[in-house]
């Protein structure tokens, strides 16, 4: 395997420290969280206490002011490598996807109110874009926010919301002017202390069992004007700007999950005997492992290059879309091949490969479906 030059010695020390934290605080609890359909609030507080949430936020709001995104990437990768997909989605979404909206576009009042508690883990964050009738088609959302002078009156619903059931606040995409299409879209921070904000029960999903995903409902919710992110009508532009980082986070988790699934499968093939010898000595097994190792190495090089560009603020939307599309497809392929090499045991939930297979499927759907990624890539090719 190629040496990863994307990280220096400080990054590697951080990775080792976080890996120890995951081994102690995440892996032993993951099975229980899967049964509960959510991680514990205690875990969020432990992540916060250890300084692993929203590390990039300025010290003014109790953050660590770590602007090097490679540290954030390490958290996504290590959680995915550990085979704990629910936490690998929930924590990075909170820190790397929701937090930047408040950090970059929030009023001083909103930053002061929410960021310190997001950093400590006292407040769990979600992002609410998808609606029952609008998935990847964000221009056609129907949730409305009517200007009432001192506040917006919000009505509508959102679905498939990651961190939804536990969330204390959500960045919500709404229409402040439905007649203007995308240009009538705005973003609001809505918290659970606002009357009329309710939640559905966590969905019983195919995978990501430790991730609380549910519907959110807004019925005449009065949202203060200070909770508007940026300018009214600029929400769609903000979403398009921030989605590149979201797609990179998904891509990094995908290739790390593929690496982790391959690693447990390699060990399994050495331990499992058939026809009087380890199945790792069978030619089909060896060729399959060789194919996966090669493709994962190719994917890792591309992922690291995208991470390097993002750390330099040079990652373009098309490259982020390529990474999200290709690496999530690779993750699914690897999970399926590895499950096959496990035989019947691969279909048993207690084996990591079974969970990896189930957890991988949604990666091709959220953060923009892979079909949407291809469309965005094609636009860049044909421009």
Model pLDDT, residue 1:
52
Query: CATH number of the domain at 126-233, please?
Result: 2.40.110.10
Task: Determine contact, residues 113/182, Cβ cutoff 8 Å.
Answer: no
User: Same CATH topology for 126-233 and 237-382?
Assistant: no
Report the Cα–Cα distance between both ends of the chain, in Å, rounded. Answer: 36
The pLDDT tens digits of the residues spanning 200-224 come to 999 999 999 999 999 999 999 999 9
Please identify which residue in the block is written with the tokens 């009538």: 184
DSSP letter string over 296-359? HHHHHHHHHHHHHHHHTT---HHHHHHHHHHHHHHHHHHHHHHHHHHGGGGGSTTSHHHHHHHH
Closest residue by Cα to residue 330 from 367, 366, 303, 368: 303
246 catalytic per annotation: yes
**Would you kindly state where each structural domain of the chain is located, as residue ranges?**
9-123, 126-233, 237-382
The 8-class DSSP code of residue 96 comes to: I
Q: Please give the CATH topology (third level) of the domain spanning 9-123.
A: Butyryl-Coa Dehydrogenase, subunit A; domain 1 (1.10.540)
Q: Which CATH architecture has domain 237-382?
A: Up-down Bundle (1.20)
Model pLDDT, residue 136:
67
Closest residue by Cα to residue 157 from 242, 93, 102, 214: 214
Reading the block at residue 247, the tokens are 């797609």
Which residue among the candidates 103, 131, 215, 246 is catalytic per the annotation?
Answer: 246
The pLDDT tens digits of the residues spanning 238-265 come to 999 999 999 999 999 999 999 999 999 9
Model pLDDT, residue 181:
86
- pLDDT below 70 — which residues of the chain? 1-2, 135-137
| Total residues found in the chain within this entry | 383
Distance from C-alpha of 197 to C-alpha of 211, rounded to nearest angstrom: 20
Distance from C-alpha of 307 to C-alpha of 70, rounded to nearest angstrom: 7
């Amino acid at each position: 395997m190629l040496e990863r030059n994307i990280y220096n010695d400080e990054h590697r020390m951080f990775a080792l420290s976080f890996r120890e934290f995951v081994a102690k605080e995440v892996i032993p609890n993951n099975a229980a969280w899967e049964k509960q359909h959510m991680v514990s609030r205690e875990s969020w507080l432990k992540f916060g206490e250890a300084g692993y949430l929203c590390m990039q936020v300025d010290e003014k709001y109790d953050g660590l002011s770590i602007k090097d995104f490679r540290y954030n990437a390490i958290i996504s990768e290590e959680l995915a490598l550990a085979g704990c997909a629910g936490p690998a989605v929930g924590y990075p979404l909170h820190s790397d996807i929701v937090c930047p909206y408040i950090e970059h576009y929030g009023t001083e009042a909103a930053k002061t109110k929410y960021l310190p508690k997001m950093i400590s883990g006292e407040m769990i964050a979600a992002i609410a874009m998808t609606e029952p009738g609008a998935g990847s088609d964000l221009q056609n959302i129907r949730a409305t926010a009517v200007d009432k002078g001192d506040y917006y009156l919000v009505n509508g619903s959102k679905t498939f919301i990651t961190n939804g059931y536990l969330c204390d606040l959500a960045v919500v995409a709404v229409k402040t002017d439905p007649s203007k299409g995308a240009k009538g879209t705005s973003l609001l921070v809505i918290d659970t202390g606002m009357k009329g904000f309710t939640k559905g029960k966590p969905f019983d999903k195919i995978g990501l069992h430790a991730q609380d995903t549910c519907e959110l409902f807004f019925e005449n919710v009065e949202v203060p004007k200070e909770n508007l992110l940026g300018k009214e009508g600029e929400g769609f532009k903000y979403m398009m700007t921030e989605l590149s980082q979201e797609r990179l986070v998904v891509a990094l988790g995908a290739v790390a999950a593929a690496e982790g699934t391959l690693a447990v499968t390699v060990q399994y093939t050495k331990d499992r005997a058939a026809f009087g010898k380890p199945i790792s000595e069978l030619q089909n097994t060896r060729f399959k492992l060789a194919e996966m190792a090669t493709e994962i190495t190719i994917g890792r090089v591309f992922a690291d290059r995208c991470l390097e560009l993002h750390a330099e603020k040079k990652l373009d939307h098309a490259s982020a879309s390529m990474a999200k599309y290709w690496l999530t497809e690779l993750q699914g392929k690897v999970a399926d091949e590895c499950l096959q090499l496990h035989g019947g045991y691969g279909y048993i939930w207690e084996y990591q490969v079974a969970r990896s297979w189930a957890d991988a499927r949604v990666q091709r759907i959220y953060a923009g479906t892979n079909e949407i990624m291809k469309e965005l890539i094609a636009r860049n090719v044909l421009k």
